[in-house]
Amino acid sequence: EPVPDDGVYNPETEIMTYRSQYPLNQEVMKKIRRNELDKIRIAWSKGYEDYEIQQVDLLIRQAACLFGK
């Protein structure tokens, strides 16, 4: 189950950083292993927002490392 994170604000960079973990089932992992994700949607308490992923092949490489090719 996801753990809430209040975030950490860096006044020098004016960046708010949140850390999160979310379990992924086998079906989702299969999709991640085959497709490059270019956006992720995060649901906040007052709606949602889409964010661009910077390293689109990161999850594919990590899944290959964990589960083999």
pLDDT in tens, 15-68: 999 888 888 888 988 888 888 888 989 888 899 999 998 888 888 888 888 877
Domain extent at residue 38: 24-67
Please report whether residue 8 resides in a domain: no
Please report whether residue 16 resides in a domain: no
What's the Rg (C-alpha) of the chain? 14
Cβ contact 7:18 at 8 Å: yes
What does the block give as tokens for 1?
A: 């189950």
Number of domains the chain contains: 1
Q: What single letter denotes the amino acid at residue 59?
A: L
pTM of the model: 0.57
Tell me the pairing of strands 15-17 and 39-44: unpaired
Strand partners of residue 47: 44
